[in-house]
């Protein structure tokens, strides 16, 4: 019995490694968070929250940051907001500018995130970034990131880790395999959601 419990616990603790979007420790996706919740966050007002929702989806965190600064938030206010809401950065393609917008990341992490590419799993992320910071900080940083899922082989858990994907997208992603092109993705997924949502989902996937 003890061995069974130990094995179950080990599998549970290992589960986040299978997710392709970093496990949230409180930070939500700025492209999908409800307007009412966004309005309560640092630096936000009901009017600004409404403007953000109307402008979504943002292609990346740099675009979101530019939007906020254009609506009179200071860089300090924007950074405080990013502790609550953010747009995930792709670990394998994010620019240094994107990485530096992760609260507390700094130039060192901009360097390390790029150095260990290609990233394939969060087990790899835990190992490599864990050389520089403790496990708590590794987990905090991970929640701002994602590793694009291969839409042709992604597990249900991979797809469900994408913000706003849900069971319906799990089904549709699998139904249209094999995926061959972005145009095919836009056509087929566009049967179920609008073009802006197709664009948002596409950020999180790759075709291999």
Contact yes or no for 205/148 (Cβ under 8 A): yes
Q: Which residues of 80-109 are buried (b: 16+ CB within 10 A; e: fewer)?
A: ebbebbbbbbbbbebeeebbebbbebeeeb
At 13 the pLDDT is 37
Contacts of 2 (CB under 8 A, 6+ apart): none
> Quick one: three-class SS letters along 76-122?
HHHHHHCCCEECCEECCCCCHHHHHCCCCCHHHHHHHHHHCCCCCCH
pTM above 0.85, yes or no: yes
Distance, CA of 8 to CA of 28 (rounded, Å):
29
Distance, CA of 83 to CA of 200 (rounded, Å):
21
The pLDDT averaged over each successive group of 10 residues in the chain (208 residues) is 41 48 96 98 97 97 98 97 98 98 97 97 96 98 97 94 94 97 97 96 96
Distance, CA of 151 to CA of 176 (rounded, Å):
10
List the structure tokens of 142. Answer: 């991970």
Q: Which residues of 163-195 are buried (b: 16+ CB within 10 A; e: fewer)?
A: bebeeebbebbeebeebeeeeebeeebeeebee
Contacts of 53 (CB under 8 A, 6+ apart): 35, 38
Number of H helices, E strands in the chain: 13, 6
At 195 the pLDDT is 96
User: Measured on CA atoms in the order 97, 103, 106, 110, is the torsion positive or negative?
Assistant: negative
> Quick one: three-class SS letters along 63-78?
HHHHHHHHCCCCHHHH
At 178 the pLDDT is 97
At 10 the pLDDT is 38
């Amino acid at each position: 019995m003890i061995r069974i419990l130990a094995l179950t616990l080990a599998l549970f603790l290992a589960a986040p490694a299978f997710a392709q979007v970093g496990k949230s420790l409180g930070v939500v996706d700025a492209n999908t968070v409800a307007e009412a919740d966004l309005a309560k966050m640092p630096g936000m007002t009901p009017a600004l929250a409404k403007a953000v929702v109307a402008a979504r989806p943002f292609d990346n965190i740099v675009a979101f940051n530019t939007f906020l600064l254009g609506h009179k938030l200071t860089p300090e206010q924007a950074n405080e907001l990013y502790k609550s809401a953010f747009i995930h950065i792709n670990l394998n393609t994010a620019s240094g500018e994107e990485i530096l917008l992760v609260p507390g990341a700094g130039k060192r992490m901009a360097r390390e995130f790029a150095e260990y590419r290609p990233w394939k799993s969060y087990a790899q992320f835990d190992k490599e970034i864990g050389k520089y910071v403790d496990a708590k900080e590794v987990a905090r940083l991970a929640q701002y990131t994602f590793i694009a899922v291969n839409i042709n082989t992604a597990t249900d858990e991979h797809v469900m880790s994408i913000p706003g994907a849900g069971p319906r997208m799990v089904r549709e992603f699998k139904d249209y395999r094999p995926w061959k092109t972005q145009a095919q993705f836009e056509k087929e997924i566009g049967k179920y959601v609008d073009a802006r949502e197709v664009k948002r989902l596409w950020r999180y996937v790759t075709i291999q």
